[in-house]
Structure 1
């Protein structure tokens, strides 16, 4: 009986060993097969179509909205308080610089001027008397012992005080005279009256918030626009522009750059451009909205790729380069677009070759390129 049990245990051991050996050999065979497949896949040649990076400096055109504004525009207020005595212009009238627009009436100002003038004459007489007294003492002092030094000094001090009083009185008279001139309102520049807000008899002055007139310069206009940040470096002196206005469809107008804000606006990250527009014929109106076409050019060449070569992913924007059978993913920032080309900024060199149809499945590293 012991002999039978021993034989059975031995057979079981041999069977288990055999099964383990078979499983081990099978696993090794599968690993070798997978390894061979991987090597075959790695050895499989791939071919990506590429195009050379272009470093060029083309002129490109953009269209942006703008506004036509009067070159100068002002609200005409009364600097002194008074009643409107006479109005000489109305809405729509064209005026010349210095032309009389209105006259105010303030009788108390005339009385103040007459009072200041009278005071000035009296103080002037006092000054003349003090000066004569001093001159006489100076003449008398030439005789030894005739005039004490203290008397001469007192007379000189009185004369100087009278002179100071006269100067102050004269300034007060000039002030009253200047205020009277403010009763006459004149045009600050050549332009057109766009609003008339008061009538004869109305009280005008520093206490009111309503201007008597609104006027604007119409023979010269400002074309103002905001240029996006990415185009700001393409602005150059004397840059030309063409624009259209909705009130005259189909007609183009030309202008040249006159000035820029110099700094980007912190709110909308744009550069303000102004073009002076000659409008002597009166064909255009200040306040129109315009559509402007600008021809821009970078100050130096930049990198351009085919638009389809730009890979946009959740992690950023990239292009894939293929140099010496090695793929690299380069982070870029897009600039402007021109036909089928896109301007890109990144760590690129002029010798780079760009993969035309990139995808996120293309991994970085060495590849087995198919030789043609």
Structure 2
């Protein structure tokens, strides 16, 4: 008879069976989290980047107080106080000239003489016609006197008498016309002598002996200038017109006269800006009795300002130029943009002077976007070395 072996060892407990299951679940969970965590981190980073990129990043700069030279220096055109082109009034041939370029002349001094044979003949004919008209008038007067006596005796008719009297009036008018023609030609003949209209210096002579001159050609024979006083013309830009007033004293400098400064006084302005250049034409007077300054020269005039030299300025790339005028974007402590209109002063190229609209403590956006609008939210970036960053 066989014997059966009976296993009398106790059965495995439930605790011993759960440990391997727990370890397996922990391993699976670890593997799951190990794979999902980088993805969650990538998604969180993407959301953060998206939110960051949705808010523009800007660089801020504050208006810088600058002290410029008080006043303005402008190019100037120097002209003589008086100048005249001597043009012939008669037709003929130049008989002789008495002055040349550089000659100082007095008012009324003879410059040249013109031979006018045709005009002389016209004048002789006019004088003969005047004498003929005078003779006819005398005959008409004597005839009228006789007819007045004869009409009293009814020897002649009243009609004939009135005709004789009217002939006297007609002859008088004809004589006056003939005499007027003589006076006109005599006055015209006086222009055979070319004389200086004022004291000055001859700067041009364009004629020589024997040359034909014509009244209709309007050819300049001499040019005369008076330079004891000079007219100086400058064009003042619109932003600087407030510093220019009648009677104001300015300083004139001329290339070639190094170290010399001449007193110039404003005598008048155009009173309106030229639409093409937006400048105010201004005339100044300069005393030049020594003759150091030559008319026609180029110079520079400096106007001194009566105001302060403290001004604010911003880089030229901080401005928005729109239909509303020049604007800047100012950012507050919460990063909110406020668009402000500003008044511009002088343009210095890289920087522009500000006459109003911002203060020294404002934080202004550098290189603002064209799409920038009022109320936009921005983030402040690190300052660039191109300018002074706002705090």
CA displacement, residues 53-106 of structure 1 (integer Å, 9 cap, x when unaligned) = 9xxxx9941111112111222221222122221211111100111111111112
- Report the counterpart of residue 6 of structure 1 in structure 2: none
Secondary structure of the 1:71 match is: strand
Structure 1 residues 352 and 163: alpha-carbon distance in aligned structure 2, compared to 1, 3 A threshold: same
Deviation at 1:51, TM superposition (A): 8.3
> TM-score under structure 1 normalisation?
0.71
Structure 1 range deviating more: 67-76 or 285-294: 67-76
Distance 1:197 1:107 in 2: 22
Show the 5 A alignment for 1:189-268.
Answer: 189-206=198-215, 208=217, 210-268=219-277
Shift of 1:323: 8.6
User: What are the residue-to-residue correspondences of 1:42-61 with 2, within 5 Å?
Assistant: 60-61=70-71
Match of 1:184 in 2: 193
Higher mean displacement: 61-70 or 204-213:
204-213
Is 2:319 aligned against 1:312?
yes
Query: Unaligned 5+ residue runs, structure 1?
Result: 1-22, 43-47, 368-372
Q: What is the DSSP-based 3-state SS (H/G/I as helix, E as strand, rest coil) of the residue aligned with 2:123?
A: helix
Residue aligned with 1:354, SS = coil
Q: Which deviates more, 266-275 or 179-188?
A: 266-275
Please state whether the residue corresponding to 1:261 is helix, strand or coil.
Answer: strand
Deviates more, 1:58-67 or 1:90-99: 58-67
Match for residue 133 of structure 2 among 111, 123, 130: 123
Q: CA 1:87–1:364 in 2, change beyond 3 Å: closer, same or farther?
A: closer
- Secondary structure class of the residue paired with 1:334: strand
Q: Does 1:165 align with 2:174?
A: yes
Q: Is the 8 A contact 1:306 1:342 kept in 2?
A: yes
User: Could you tell me which of 116, 119, 126 is aligned with 1:106?
Assistant: 116
Tell me how far apart the structure 1 counterparts of residues 201 and 211 of structure 2 sit (CA, whole Å). Answer: 22
The answer to whether the 8 A contact 2:312-2:360 is kept is no
CA distance in structure 1 between the partners assigned to 2:317 and 2:304 by the alignment: 25
**Corresponding residue for 1:354?**
362
- In 2: Cα distance, 1:217 partner to 1:237 partner: 23
Report the 3-state secondary structure (helix = DSSP H, G, I; strand = E; otherwise coil) of the residue aligned with 1:161: helix
Kindly state the Cα deviation for residue 243 of structure 1 after the two structures are TM-superposed: 1.4
Offset, 1:351: 9.6
Query: Which of structure 1's runs of 4+ aligned residues deviate more than 3 A?
Result: 48-53, 135-141, 143-148, 207-210, 303-310, 313-317, 319-327, 341-346, 350-367
Shift of 1:127: 1.1
CA contact (8 A) 2:331 2:365 kept: no
- Tell me how far 1:222 sits from its aligned partner: 1.3
1:302-351 deviation per Cα after TM superposition (whole angstroms, max 9, x unaligned):
x964546982247674345579987521132412379xx965467x5x99
Q: Which residue of 2 aligns with 1:281?
A: 290
Q: Where does 1:145-156 land on structure 2 (aligned, <5 Å)?
A: 145=154, 148-156=157-165
The question of whether the paired residues in 1 share the 8 Å contact of 2:64 and 2:314 is answered with no
SS across alignment from 1:199? coil
- Aligned Cα RMSD in Å? 4.5
Which runs of 5 or more residues in structure 2 are unaligned?
A: 1-35, 378-391
Alignment of 1:4-83 (within 5 A): 60-83=70-93
Equivalent pair of 2:328/2:365 in contact (CA under 8 Å): no
Deviations 1:154-173 (A, max 9, x none): 12221121112112111221
Query: Aligned equivalents of 1:252 and 1:167: distance in 2?
Result: 62
Which one is further off, 131-140 or 169-178?
A: 131-140
Structure 1 residue 334 corresponds to structure 2 residue 344: yes
Alignment CA distance shift 1:284-1:296 (3 Å): same
Identify if the C-alpha distance between structure 1 residues 83 and 255 changes in structure 2 by more than 3 Å, giving closer, same or farther.
same
Larger Cα-atom Rg? 2
The TM-score normalised by the length of structure 2 is 0.68
